[in-house]
């Protein structure tokens, strides 16, 4: 595996840590900015909306740059957003900072995943995506608790300064560890990138990704109140359980990455079935501590860990370019928004177990979006792969001079 893939994972870790930091420091930030906790909650929503809506536009803006230059530009924008957050004296400045940071984060995902594809052989691309996406899993496992710890001990501004320092380190490592390649020379440019969105199969793949993540986040967003108010765990125990959940996502992501290239649709189908089963089990057994924890860890194993298979399927339905990958990330973010927002609605109507039932329903709906490909596979000859093997991109040449 090229070392650049691990370097990209570090950059993604920095982006995800910044995404989660507000959730761990809501009371402190509310006091520091003289606003209410719900207003701080809007910063989380703004970050997600900025990712989903703004990321593709920034990706288009950097598409003409060589990949490493594009990554360095995105690091600069990301760093500017975090420094603005660390120095914000009012709520408006903080809102602007979160929007800037969200847009940069989404574009980084798209450019970074596209670069993973260029740097690796076709038969190991799913595994490479899994390695890069471990930055996301480790952001859940380590980034959130560590940034919360820094913020609680040294003030919430210190958490943003720490993330800024992490971004500088990641940028420096990227400058050294990522080879200087030419921009993708497929000859089609923006028109070729945008043209693939006419394909219905691509939209079907994007909708599956939204439902996979929506099913998971309808539950994950409300683990804390479910575990304390329904299962009966103490507030001090929940962080330990969430760390265990994060560890499960790392394991699941690694396993899915090894299977994603050869068994893409099968992995997604099994993952969605298992996720529906774990979500249903959690809903039924939420009042019993041991079964509830088993189901929660099961959701960690087969939920967001479907990312390598989702990325592989979307790239085969469209292409491996940065715009397709960024739009895919936007659909994933839409799943986060959808799951958490609908979860709040059903809690108000039916109580804290309702988001778990909602997640199971979304998982089954996601499975339905796979039926055309599953049916085509069962009707084909034995041994015929479910998806066509994508045409490898042109080999990337080392650039000289200006990098073009």
Q: Decide if 152 contacts 21 (C-beta within 8 A).
A: no
Q: What is the mean pLDDT of residues 346-352?
A: 92
* 113/106 Cα distance (integer angstroms): 11
The chain-wide mean pLDDT, for the chain, equals: 88
Domains 1-182 and 195-380 share a fold: yes
Which ranges in 223-382 belong to alpha helices (H)? 223-225, 238-259, 264-285, 289-302, 307-317, 322-350, 354-379
pLDDT tier at 142 (50, 70, 90 boundaries)? Answer: confident
pLDDT tier at 276 (50, 70, 90 boundaries)? Answer: very high
Q: What pLDDT score was predicted for residue 27?
A: 82
Q: What pLDDT score was predicted for residue 402?
A: 36
pLDDT tier at 118 (50, 70, 90 boundaries)? Answer: confident
pLDDT (tens digit, 9 = 90+) per residue, 72-95?
A: 999 999 999 999 999 999 999 999
Q: What pLDDT score was predicted for residue 235?
A: 79
Q: What pLDDT score was predicted for residue 147?
A: 85
260-296 burial, b at 16+ Cβ within 10 Å, e below that, comes to bbebbbbbbbbbbebbbbbbbbbbebbeeeeebbebb
Q: What is the mean pLDDT of residues 3-28?
A: 89
Q: What pLDDT score was predicted for residue 184?
A: 58
Q: What is the mean pLDDT of residues 266-284?
A: 98
Given a cut of 70, whether residue 400 has pLDDT beyond it is no
Least confident of 110-114, 124-128, 299-303: 124-128
CB atoms within 10 A of CB 194: 15
Q: What is the mean pLDDT of residues 285-314?
A: 96
Helices then strands, counting H and E runs in the chain, come out as 17, 0
Q: What pLDDT score was predicted for residue 180?
A: 85
Domain boundaries defined on the chain: 1-182, 195-380
pLDDT (tens digit, 9 = 90+) per residue, 165-176?
A: 999 999 999 999
CATH architecture observed for domain 1-182: Up-down Bundle (1.20)
Q: What is the mean pLDDT of residues 182-193?
A: 63
pLDDT (tens digit, 9 = 90+) per residue, 39-75?
A: 887 888 889 899 989 999 999 999 889 999 999 999 9
The pLDDT > 90 percentage for the chain reads 61
Among the CATH numbers 1.10.287.130, 3.40.50.720, 1.10.3720.10, 1.20.1250.20, which is that of 195-380? 1.20.1250.20
* 311/275 Cα distance (integer angstroms): 18
Q: Which 8-state DSSP code applies to residue 197?
A: G
Q: What is the mean pLDDT of residues 101-126?
A: 89
Q: What pLDDT score was predicted for residue 380?
A: 57
Cα distances (angstroms) measured from residue 399 to each of 68, 69, 181, 290? 11, 12, 5, 56
pLDDT tier at 399 (50, 70, 90 boundaries)? Answer: very low
Q: What are the φ and ψ backbone dihedral angles of 248, each rounded to 5 degrees? A: -65, -35
Q: What is the mean pLDDT of residues 383-404?
A: 40
pLDDT (tens digit, 9 = 90+) per residue, 318-333?
A: 988 899 999 999 999 9
Q: What is the mean pLDDT of residues 330-355?
A: 92
Q: What pLDDT score was predicted for residue 387?
A: 43
């Amino acid at each position: 595996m090229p070392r650049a893939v691990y370097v990209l994972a570090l950059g993604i870790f920095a982006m995800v840590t910044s995404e989660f930091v507000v959730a761990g420091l809501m009371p402190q930030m509310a006091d520091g900015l003289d606003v209410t906790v719900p207003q701080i909650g809007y910063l989380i929503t703004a970050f997600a909306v900025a990712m989903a809506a703004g990321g593709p536009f920034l990706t288009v803006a950097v598409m003409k740059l060589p990949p490493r230059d594009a990554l360095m530009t995105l690091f600069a924008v990301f760093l500017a957003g975090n420094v603005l957050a660390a120095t914000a004296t009012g709520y408006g400045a903080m809102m602007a900072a979160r929007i800037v940071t969200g847009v940069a984060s989404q574009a980084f995902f798209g450019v970074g995943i596209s670069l993973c594809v260029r740097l690796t052989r076709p038969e190991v691309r799913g595994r490479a995506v899994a390695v890069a996406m471990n930055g996301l899993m480790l952001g859940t496992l380590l980034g959130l608790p560590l940034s919360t710890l820094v913020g609680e001990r040294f003030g919430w501004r210190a958490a943003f300064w720490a993330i800024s320092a992490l971004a500088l380190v990641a940028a420096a490592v990227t400058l050294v560890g990522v080879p200087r390649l030419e921009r993708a020379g497929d000859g089609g440019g923006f028109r070729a990138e945008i043209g693939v969105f006419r394909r219905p199969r691509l939209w079907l793949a994007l909708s599956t990704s939204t439902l996979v993540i929506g099913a998971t986040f309808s539950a994950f967003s409300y683990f804390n109140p479910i575990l304390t108010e329904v299962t009966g765990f103490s507030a001090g125990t929940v962080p330990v359980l969430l760390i265990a959940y994060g560890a499960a996502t790392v394991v699941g992501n690694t396993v899915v990455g090894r299977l994603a290239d050869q068994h893409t649709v099968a992995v997604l189908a099994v993952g969605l079935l298992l996720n529906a089963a774990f979500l249903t089990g959690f809903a039924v057994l939420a009042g019993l501590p041991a079964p509830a924890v088993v189901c929660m860890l099961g959701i960690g194993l087969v939920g967001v860990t479907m990312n390598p298979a989702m990325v592989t399927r979307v790239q085969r339905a469209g292409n491996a370019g940065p715009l397709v990958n960024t739009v895919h990330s936007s659909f994933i973010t839409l799943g986060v928004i959808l799951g958490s927002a609908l979860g709040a609605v059903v809690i108000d109507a039916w109580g804290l177990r309702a988001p778990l039932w909602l997640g199971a329903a979304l998982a089954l709906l996601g499975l339905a979006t796979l039926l055309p490909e599953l049916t085509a596979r069962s009707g084909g000859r034995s041994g015929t792969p479910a998806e066509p093997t994508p045409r490898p991109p042109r080999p990337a040449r080392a650039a000289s001079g200006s990098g073009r």
